[in-house]
Amino acid sequence: MKLIIAIVQDDYSTKVIKSLMSKKYRTTKLSSTGGFLKSGNTTLLIGVDDEKVNDVIKTIEDECKDRNDNKGKDEIAVGRANIFILNMKDFKKI
């Protein structure tokens, strides 16, 4: 079993959550702030079986499209998500 922690730009969070829910993946949403552009983020916690990890990553990837943001004189590519995958020993729903 794995715990996927996905940090997603706020602009994409609703679409990502809807796509995950349509595929029967439960997710916990946490509001967060940080990163280079100091923009709003949403942190998603998703517990899945090992064989489902690639499908979850693909779902997140499909909903998070690159976009460019002008900061000063530089144009910076933003979007997508930062994803951490952790091994879980156990999971209990109470």
CATH of the domain at 37: 3.30.70.120
Within a domain: 54: yes
Rounded mean pLDDT of 27-47?
A: 81
The pLDDT confidence band at residue 76, using thresholds 50, 70 and 90, is low
> Residue 59 is inside which H or E element, if any?
helix 53-63
Within a domain: 93: no
Q: Packing angle between helix 53-63 and helix 10-22, nearest 10 degrees?
A: 140
Rounded mean pLDDT of 39-57?
A: 92
Structural domain span for residue 26: 2-87
User: What's the pTM value of the predicted model, to 2 decimals?
Assistant: 0.81
Within a domain: 92: no
Within a domain: 65: yes
Please count the structural domains in the chain: 1
Rounded mean pLDDT of 18-31?
A: 94
Residue 73 half-sphere exposure toward CB, CA atoms < 13 A: 0
Q: 1-16, pLDDT tens digit by residue?
A: 999 999 998 888 999 9
